[in-house]
Structure 1
Amino acid sequence: MSREESAAQARLREAAAARIRAARPELADAYDLASAEGLLAVRARIAEDTAAPEHLAAVVIGRFDLASWARATCEFALGLDPEQAAAWRRSFTRTVFLAGNPDNLRERFSFAHFADDGSAAWTDPGPAADSAGLRRLLKLFDGPRPLPVRADTVVEIPPRAGRRPDRPPVHRELHIAASGCRVSDALVHLNHLLAEAVLDGLIRPGDTLTIRHAPRLTGLTDRFAALRVDTDPTLPGRLRAAAGLTEEALLVPHHRP
């Protein structure tokens, strides 16, 4: 492995460790999160930990549009109260994606957020039993097709009416590694990345995201404020950046002549 590859792997391990510390800080002292072996051990511990109560959100998807879904995912996470957010974070923002028409379910189930175009609806994150009825009714959303590679898409997170922003709006780029990525993979990777970026304060109302596709995100990791790290299916034992959110750039307001 070259020096550049070793440095990239260390950066990815650092990002994976930071996610574990944010969700389950009590595990940080029990494992060597700087090593690949330590990360594997803590992942196995989390998978086997039946004592930790699991909180999850369920999302009903009628039709998938990446820009609309990304915007609504951020809005949903921004609407959580601190207690909900903390419990969901301890379960690593687990989310179950279901196939169905959200409009047909409004009267039967309680949803916390609907996408503006009605394409998707979110339940509040909570104990798995809370969404058991909905999950029994609907099938898992199956997105086996490759993620369509599109031109750069700008997504604006709406400001909150009547509320002063916490800080000036910023612009970030949202990169996703499209090579070998199915729609279902993109949902998982971007859901965790965007939701946790909101909980960390990296994305706020009024911000703008530019969604960009690339075959792989090699050579770009130093630009990212947040990374979604996954195992590399082509190189056993290696990690890869599945998606990333860049450092902020202040938005320049437009002045009318």
Structure 2
Amino acid sequence: MTVGLMVTCINDALFPDTGKAVVTLLRRLGVDVAFPSAQTCCGQPMVNTGYLDEAVPLLRNHLDAFAGYEAIVAPSGSCAGSVRHQHRIVAERSGDPGLVHAVEAAPPVHELSEYLVDVLGVTDVGAYFPHRVTYHPTCHSLRMLGVGDRPLSLLRAVRGIRLEELPGADECCGFGGTFAMKNAETSIAMGNDKARHVRSTGAEVLVAGDNSCLMHVGGLLSRQRSGVRVMHLAEVLAQTEPVVHSVTSAGSAPTREPAVGSGAPTEGGPR
């Protein structure tokens, strides 16, 4: 199966390691991954702020860029949710029956954890991450997509991990795209609540499926000098245990190849 990686704007511009981790992970599981270079914004910011007509060219570009793939995988519940639920609204508003049909016939879009659990049928992806971790389910993944416990089932299967339950996990972190800019004080207050809950777990690492939320909460954790780091789910799942080779000659020590990924998350925000 060849899937198209919908890397999303924020990952392409700010967090490219997340896209690389998705490719590493899926190829390790035997999936052929392609990156359509013509992809750009899915149109979510325009739709969310009421500019549906302006989203039409972006919708058409998305359809053209991902035409011919068997499926689309996105490391973002927010953007996957936008394509699945908002593209039809935009197409219908455009008054173009051909565009509506194109949306209906487009390849299915899966958030990463959905693709791993529902399509590939795996929860143990061979990951190794010896850190104390807590998981934040982002709003769009939780409410718009309904990913449920899929990310947690993937994390529970990671060797070496210590997974801590996050109090108030289903509460919004306060980012919300333009909400954080238009309602900064409220956004920061909500983010501080989330950061407080994260710190209460004693976790070293906060994991989520959307880098936008990690950027928001991670920035607050960094300013609080909490020592808590943030990582995208894909980057945790891409980590593997170092390979120890057998002794090759008398008296020589075994050699160790590095794991895929450093295994050492970056403090503050996503890379």
Q: Same fold (TM over 0.5)?
A: no
- Quick check: which one's strand share is greater? 1
Normalised to the residue count of structure 2, the TM-score between the two structures is 0.28
- Quick check: which one's helix share is greater? 2
Larger relative contact order, structure 1 or 2 (CA cutoff 8 Å, min sep 6): 1
Normalised to the residue count of structure 1, the TM-score between the two structures is 0.29
